[in-house]
Structure formats: C-alpha cells, structure tokens
Amino acid sequence: MTDLEEAAPPARILRVGRPPNPWAWPRWEIAGEDGTFGNRWDDARSTYRVLYGSSQLEACFVETLARFRPDPHVLAGLVRIRGDEAAEAPGLLPRSWLTGRVIGEAAVRGRFCEIGAPGSLAHLHRALAAVLVRHRLRELDGAAIRLTAPRRFTQEISSYVYAQSDVRGRPRFAGIAYRSRFGDRFENWAIFERPAARPVIRRLATRRIDPAQPELRAALRLLGLRLGA
C-alpha cells in the first residue's frame, strides 16, 4: 500500500486569533455537542485539539472571514428584485471584529501529512475504506477532502493521521498540510495538540491588525466584503 506523503512547514506560519495569545488552544468547554469545535481537521474522538494556520496572511483572513460572506439565497433574491447589479452588493465586516483579533507568527517543528498528495489520497482510500462507505463516498480524492459536509469525514481522517507512528513508535506527524477550499495558492496547516510531547509551536511575534493591511483588503475583495465604519 502506498504511504502517506510528508511536507515540511515553512519558516513561519501565520494565524489570526484572539489576544493576547492567538496560539492558545481552544477551551474544551466551548466544544460542540459532538465534542469538536466544528472545524475540518478536528479530532473525531475528542482527545486532542487542533490549531489552524496558513503560509500566507491573506489565506488567514480568507479562512476566518468567509462566514461573513453574503448568503447566496439573499443575493439571489436581491437579483430578482433589483437586477444584476444587486449581485455586487458586498457583505459587511464589523470593524469591531478587527479589534478583537491579532496576527500571530510562529515557528512549527515536525513533519506534516500532505493530505492532498497522490500517495496520501491512495493510502487513505484503502486504509479508510469503511469510513468512505459509512459516509457514502465512492472514492477518496482531492474533492472529497475539501467537502464542507459531512465534517465528520475529514475529522475521522484527522484521527487516523494523528495515530500514525514512526519506526521508533513516536508520533509521526505534527499535523496536516492542506490546500484551502478557496483556492490552491492558499497553503494551510492544521497543528495537532500532543500534551505529552515537546511543544511544536514557538511563538515569534504578535501584532495588531491594520485596517489598511493589503492582505486584509485582498481577502475582503475576494469574499465580496467591505469593512464597516
């Protein structure tokens, strides 16, 4: 059987999170009824937490701001009422969102499973055949791992990758490397929590978000959003 492919993280990974420490693990008390935080690579078994970062700052903003995009049902209704120009109506990002977030930079140790690589997809297709059947998927391909639903499917992949060990019995992967569903040029990193191991995250810097930041402006344009007054 083909093996899971590996990827090395860049010298720095970026994350948009809450101050004072954007790299703090989410509190278990805020997990949902299913024991996860509702994210793509969370643990299906609720035994570890996951932090999400990106190689590009624009990707951080795109991933975190996507929920503010105009609802397509609302846009479709506006088009019927007001014509095609209504499709250009942007959603609104409250300026208060910026004051409640900061940009974090960190160096991350370890190897990551490159989940969308051909070898990884082929390996998982065989190793997780029962999971595919349970979720009514005929094959595991690049489209399947980008599905927004069912979240449980990618979360079960995360649990499988987390459990992999090297020849010495040590955890093999620090997390999962994956491409964004918003475009292949955005490179994202899901970092596993391993309480018994040496920390893999070393914080480098934290800074406030500048409303005029080019990466923020680019993300707003991409998502069809505008910043509130």
**Mean pLDDT over all residues of the chain?**
91
The pLDDT score that the predictor gives to residue 198 is 80
The residue extents of the domains of the chain are: 6-24+39-65+92-227
Token pair 């569903």: residue: 181
How far from 111 is each of 192, 218, 225, CA to CA, in Å? 11, 30, 35
> What is the band of 146 on the pLDDT scale with cuts at 50, 70, 90?
confident
| Residue 81 pLDDT greater than 90, yes or no | no
pTM: 0.91
Q: Torsion angle of alpha carbons 120, 124, 126, 127, nearest 10°?
A: 120
How does DSSP classify residue 117?
S
> What is the band of 209 on the pLDDT scale with cuts at 50, 70, 90?
very high
The pLDDT score that the predictor gives to residue 80 is 58
> What is the band of 86 on the pLDDT scale with cuts at 50, 70, 90?
very low
Looking at residue 157, its amino acid is: I
> How far apart, in whole angstroms, are the C-alpha atoms of residue 87 and residue 29?
39
The pLDDT score that the predictor gives to residue 195 is 87
